[in-house]
Amino acid sequence: HYTPTGKPEVDRSQFAIKFCREEPKKEAEQDLAINTRFRIPPGADSHKVVASKTVNRESTLLALMPHMHVRGKSFTYKAIFPDGRVETLLSVPFYDFNWQHEYRLKTPIKLPAGTVIECEAYFDNSNDNPANPDPAKWVTWGDQTWEEMMIGFFTVTR
pLDDT bracket for residue 1 (50, 70, 90): low
Confidence band for 146, pLDDT divided at 50, 70 and 90: very high
56, part of any domain? yes
The stretch 130-149 carries a mean pLDDT of 96
pLDDT digits over 91-116, tens only? 999 999 998 899 999 999 999 999 99
Element (H, E) at 146: none
Q: What's the pTM value of the predicted model, to 2 decimals?
A: 0.89
Question: Could you tell me which residues come within 8 angstroms of residue 148 by beta carbon, excluding any fewer than 6 positions away?
Answer: 38, 40, 68, 69, 71, 72, 123, 139, 140, 141, 142
Count of domains observed in the chain: 1
Q: Strand order of the sheet with strand 151-157?
A: 28-34, 151-157, 59-67, 103-111
Q: Which domain holds residue 137?
A: 34-85+115-157
62 CB neighbour count, 10 Å cutoff? 18
Task: Answer yes or no: is 11 within a domain.
Answer: no
C-alpha closest to that of 120 among 71, 48, 39, 54: 48
User: Is the pLDDT reported for residue 2 higher than 80?
Assistant: no
- Overall residue count recorded for the chain in this entry: 158
On whether residue 26 sits in a domain, the answer given is no
**Residue 8 located in a structural domain:** no
Q: Is residue 18 part of a domain?
A: no
On whether residue 47 sits in a domain, the answer given is yes
Beta strands in 10-148 (DSSP E): 28-34, 47-54, 59-67, 72-80, 86-92, 103-111, 116-123
Q: Tell me how far apart the alpha carbons of residues 140 and 128 are, in angstroms, rounded to a whole number.
A: 19
pLDDT digits (tens, 9 = 90+) for 45-80: 999 999 999 999 999 999 999 999 999 999 999 999
- The answer to whether position 28 is within a domain reads no
In a domain, 143, yes or no: yes
3-state secondary structure of 5: coil
